Amino acid sequence: GEATCQRRWCWCDALFMVPAVYTRMYTITGDKKYIKFADREFKATYDLLYDKEEHLFFRDKNYLDKKEANGKKVFWGRGNGWVLGGLAEMLKTLPANEKKYKPYYEQLFKEMSARVAGLQGKDGFWSASMLDPGSYPSPETSSTGFFVYALAFGVNNGYLPKEQFLPVVKKGWQALVSSVNTEGKIGWVQPVGQDPKKVTKNMTELYGTGAFLMAANEIYKLSE
């Protein structure tokens, strides 16, 4: 219920918002209570929302049995962008030599990255709906921004093989750059929501800009 959601991470966006704060606290203080809490809560959310066949996260439990127009399960683009970006943040903030907790997140990051890379559109964008781009044919730049960020981070830090993922990253970055208008504003950002919706060129939001800048940061490192 809603009350539980005030106390637990019962929606996939939370996996970007919270766990990397705790991994940072653990790394800074060395106090294991932070990583123990984050690990327990993350795995509870994973057990509830991760589809082990599709290697994608449902937005929340309300979507576990819903279907898109094409009969496929509902996996929201930005929701999965939040998760993959959040996993990159966890890997970035855990100590390099951490052996007890890190392998789990590294494995999940690699598994999701492979699935996400395979769902990129021919135009370099990802769709508001991961498995039904036909119903949502317009670009969606908040999901694309988070995916480019996470995949570029993976390549830069040796988690993802360059030859397989670099073409995906480059294509995604070119798509993002093409979405910035002459005033410097990024368009095609799906407004605040919780599932796939139609998007137009003039739609923009702060988190779309944020995802773009996070991606740009990793692309800069890549280009060096």
Which structure tokens are listed for 204?
């923009």
Catalytic residue among 13, 39, 60, 132: 13
Nearest one of 120, 122, 30 to 77, comparing CA atoms: 120
Which structure tokens are listed for 113?
């990255």
- Beta-carbon contacts of 158 under 8 Å, excluding residues fewer than 6 positions away, are none
Q: Distance between CA 86 and CA 147 in Å, rounded?
A: 11
Is the Cβ–Cβ distance between 16 and 86 less than 8 Å? yes
Is the Cβ–Cβ distance between 109 and 91 less than 8 Å? yes
Q: Which whole-number Å values give the CA distances from 22 to 12, 100, 183, in the listed order?
A: 17, 15, 37
Q: Distance between CA 120 and CA 192 in Å, rounded?
A: 22
Q: Which whole-number Å values give the CA distances from 155 to 60, 150, 221, 223, in the listed order?
A: 29, 9, 10, 12
Please report which helix (H) or strand (E) contains residue 56, including its range.
strand 56-57
Residue type for 174, please? Answer: Q
Tell me whether residue 60 is one of the annotated catalytic residues.
no
List the catalytic residues: 13
